[in-house]
Amino acid sequence: MKHCGLSTLLGILSVTRVTSSVKEDSRYWKKLGEDSIKDALREDKNENLAKNVILFVGDGMGLSTIVAGRIFKGQMQGHSGEEGYLSFEKFKHVGLLKTYNVDRQVPDSAGTATALFSGIKGNYYAVGLDATSVYNVCQPNVTKTAGVRTLIDWAIEAGKSTGMVTTTRLTHATPASSYAHCPHRDWECDTKIPETERGKGCKDIASQMVEDEPGRSINVLLGGGEQVFVAGINKTSVCTRGDGKNLPFQWMKWHNSQNRTNAFVKNKAQLMEVPDNINHVLGLFAPSHMPYDKDRDTSVNGEPSLEEMTTKAIQILSKNTKGYVLLVEGGRIDHAHHDNLAKIAMEEVAAFDAAIQKALAMTKRSDTLIVVTADHSHAFTINGYPKRGNPIEGVGDVTPEGFAYETLSYINGPGYNYHRIDSADGINRTSTLKTWKNLNLTENAKGRSVPHMAGFWMDSETHGGEDVPVYASGPMAHLIHGVHEQTHVPYTIAYSLCIGPYFQDCRGPSPKPSSSTVINISVVAVIISTVVSLRLF
C-alpha cells in the first residue's frame, strides 16, 4: 500500500535499466507455466554409479545472496535481471540444509564445512573434529578420537584422485576441514597455537596439509596463503611461521621421494603451463587470500580466476580412470559480506557461477554428480519495493519521509557507521532526530567499496542461521530432495560414488539399494524414534 504513494519519488530516483515489462503479459505467463510443467513431468532419475563428484561451496552464499547474485548477473548482461537464472539454478534437484553447529544456533565455517565434508556435525571453530573436541586446547588423544574422515579420505581409499580449489588461503576454515583436525580454526601457522598449548603434540593446519594424510596426497591444491606455508614472508596481517619451515619445498621433496610427478606454481601462467600428465599440483597465488575477482591482476603474472583454477583441476584429475572428487570453494563471498560490501559479494557470486558453468561444460551428467551449496548464510536481506530492473546494488526505495535506502542491507556490521550522519562516532546517542545519512543515489549505486546499511555496528558482520539451499545434478542427484541436515550432502556423494560409508557396499550390480537395507534402515528409524519419544515423555 505505502509504496504506491511513493511511485513519483521512486520514478525520479530509480535508474531503471529496463523500463518496460509489458511483454510479460498473460500469454507470456501461460506459455511459461505450461513449459515449466512439461519440464517438471520429464523423469529425471539418474541412478548411474557416479565416477566423479564436484562439490561447489559458496562460502556464505545464502538464499538472499543467490537471488541478489542472479539479478546482478542478469543486469551485467544488460537485462532487467530478476527473470534470469544462475547456472546451477536450472538443476532439477534442490533441497534445504540445516546449518547449525552442535554447540551454536548460528554456525561458523569450520563446523559447517566439517559437516559438509565428513557427514559429522562439529563445534563452532573446530576443524575436522566431532563435538567431543575441546575449544582451543591441544589434546592429541582427543584429536585422535574426535578426528573425522572426509570425502577426501574416502575418495583416496577408493583409488580416486582428489582436489581442493579455493579463493581463500588453503588453510582457511572451509578447505582445512577437508584434510586437517584442529581445535581452533586460527591455528593456520605454528605461531597461532597459543603458547600454553605448544609442545603438546598438536600441529598447525599448514603443516598438516603438507606433512600428513590425507592433505599431502590431495592431487590438486589451488588457492592462497603462501605466507602461512613459508617462513620469512610477512606481507599481510595473517600469521607468519616461527619454525623456519618452507612447506612447498617440503611438499615437492616428499612427492619426488614417492616418484610422484609434481609442480608448485605461483601465478596464472605457471598454472596454465602445468602439463596434464603431472599428477600433483600445489598452487599458492597470494600471500593470504586471493584478491577479489574484480581486483585480480589478470595478466599472466597475476592470479588465475576461480574458473581457470577449476578448469585446470578438472583436466588434471580426469586422467584417473577411477574418477575424482573435487571440492571448489567460492570463499570470498563471505568476506565481502563480513565487510557489508554487497556489490563485491555479488561479483564473487558471479565468478563462482562462472566456475560452475565451466565445470558443467567439461563433464557429463551421466557420470559426474555436481552439487552446489553454501556452508551458511549471512545477516543479509533484499528489502524495499525497488522497481523492476532497478540496479540491485543501489538505492532501492525511499521512506514516506523521503529517506533513501539500499535494496541490499544487513542487520549488523561496519556499514552502520557509514550510514550515520556522524560517521566518525559509531554510536552518537545524542542525535535522535537525524541519525542516518540520506543516501545519494548516484554515488551509492556505483560504489563497490561502499558498505551497505547495517542496523547496528559490528567490526565484522555476522553469519545468518537460516537453512541454505543445495542444488544437485547427475547420478543420485534426486537424493537431494527436501529439508536435510547438512550432513546429508557427503552421504549423498558417498552413495553416488560407492565410497566411504558405502565403499564396496553400495548398489551392487543393481542400481537400487537392496530391500533388506531399506528394511534395516526403517527398523533402525523406528527404534530411534521410540527411544526419543520415551525420553521426551
Contact, 348 vs 336, CB < 8 A?
yes
Q: How far is the CB of 62 from Zn ion (least distance, A)?
A: 11
In this structure, how many other beta carbons lie within 10 angstroms of the beta carbon of residue 285? 25
Q: Which is nearer to ligand NAG, 31 or 198 (CB)?
A: 198
Among 57, 18, 17, 53, residue whose Cα is nearest residue 348: 57
Return the H-helix or E-strand segment holding 418: helix 415-419
Residue 234 lies near ligand NAG (rule: CB under 6 A): yes
Q: How far apart are CA 15 and CA 69, in angstroms?
A: 19
Q: How far is the CB of 242 from ligand NAG (least distance, A)?
A: 7
Stretch that binds ligand NAG, among 88-96, 179-187, 337-345, 428-436 (CB under 6 A): 428-436
Q: Which is nearer to ligand NAG, 424 or 536 (CB)?
A: 424
Scan for cell 537471488, then name that residue: 67
CA distances from 118 to 211, 402, 490 (A): 21, 51, 6
Q: How far is the CB of 151 from Zn ion (least distance, A)?
A: 21
The catalytic residues are 109
Residue 443 lies near ligand NAG (rule: CB under 6 A): yes
Q: How far is the CB of 507 from ligand NAG (least distance, A)?
A: 14
Among 339, 327, 417, 320, residue whose Cα is nearest residue 378: 339
**List 20, 423, 431, 529, residue binding ligand NAG (CB under 6 A):** 431
Q: Which is nearer to ligand NAG, 105 or 257 (CB)?
A: 257
Site string for Zn ion, 290-329 (x = CB under 5 A): ----------------------------------------
Contact, 197 vs 254, CB < 8 A?
no
Q: Which is nearer to Zn ion, 245 or 332 (CB)?
A: 332
Q: How far apart are CA 400 and CA 334, in angstroms?
A: 33
* Spatial CB neighbours of 289, under 8 Å, sequence gap ≥ 6: 167, 168, 169, 172, 224, 225, 331, 332, 335
Residue 240 interacting partner from Zn ion, ligand NAG, none (CB closer than 5 to 8 Å by kind): ligand NAG
Q: Which is nearer to ligand NAG, 260 or 481 (CB)?
A: 260
Q: How far apart are CA 410 and CA 65, in angstroms?
A: 11
**List 240, 310, 407, 417, residue binding ligand NAG (CB under 6 A):** 240
Q: How many residues bind ligand NAG (CB under 6 A)?
A: 21
Residue 434 lies near ligand NAG (rule: CB under 6 A): yes
Q: How far apart are CA 485 and CA 491, in angstroms?
A: 11
What residue number has its CB nearest to ligand NAG? Answer: 431
Q: Which is nearer to Zn ion, 186 or 334 (CB)?
A: 334
Q: Is 337 annotated as a binding residue?
A: no
Residue 334 interacting partner from Zn ion, ligand NAG, none (CB closer than 5 to 8 Å by kind): Zn ion
Residue 440 interacting partner from ligand NAG, Zn ion, none (CB closer than 5 to 8 Å by kind): ligand NAG
Q: Which is nearer to ligand NAG, 31 or 434 (CB)?
A: 434
Residue 430 lies near ligand NAG (rule: CB under 6 A): yes
Q: Which is nearer to ligand NAG, 218 or 439 (CB)?
A: 439
Strand partners, 53: 325, 369
- Which three three-digit cell numbers place residue 277? 600428465
Stretch that binds ligand NAG, among 30-38, 103-111, 401-409, 438-446 (CB under 6 A): 438-446
Residue 8 interacting partner from Zn ion, ligand NAG, none (CB closer than 5 to 8 Å by kind): none
**List 19, 442, 522, 529, residue binding ligand NAG (CB under 6 A):** 442
In this structure, how many other beta carbons lie within 10 angstroms of the beta carbon of residue 527? 10
In this structure, how many other beta carbons lie within 10 angstroms of the beta carbon of residue 291? 16
Q: How far is the CB of 285 from ligand NAG (least distance, A)?
A: 21
Among 525, 498, 524, 494, residue whose Cα is nearest residue 509: 498
* Spatial CB neighbours of 421, under 8 Å, sequence gap ≥ 6: 428, 431, 434, 435, 436, 437
Residue 334 lies near Zn ion (rule: CB under 5 A): yes
Q: How far apart are CA 168 and CA 148, in angstroms?
A: 22
Q: How far is the CB of 431 from ligand NAG (least distance, A)?
A: 3
* Spatial CB neighbours of 220, under 8 Å, sequence gap ≥ 6: 161, 162, 163, 164, 165, 280, 281, 312, 313, 316, 317, 326
Q: Which residues in 497-536 contact ligand NAG (CB under 6 A)?
A: 516, 519-520, 523
Query: What is the distance in angstroms between the CA of the first residue and the CA of the last residue of the chain?
Result: 48
Contact, 145 vs 208, CB < 8 A?
no
Residue 139 lies near ligand NAG (rule: CB under 6 A): yes
Residue 226 lies near Zn ion (rule: CB under 5 A): no
Among 353, 325, 356, 236, residue whose Cα is nearest residue 284: 236
Q: Which residues in 140-169 contact ligand NAG (CB under 6 A)?
A: 141-142
In the complex, the residues that contact Zn ion under the rule CB under 5 A are 334
- Binding-site residues from annotation: 59, 172, 174, 329, 334, 338, 375-376, 463
In the complex, the residues that contact ligand NAG under the rule CB under 6 A are 139, 141-142, 234, 240, 258-259, 421-422, 425, 428, 430-431, 434, 440, 442-443, 516, 519-520, 523
- Binding-site residues from annotation for Zn(2+): 59, 334, 338, 375-376, 463
- Binding-site residues from annotation for Mg(2+): 59, 172, 174, 329
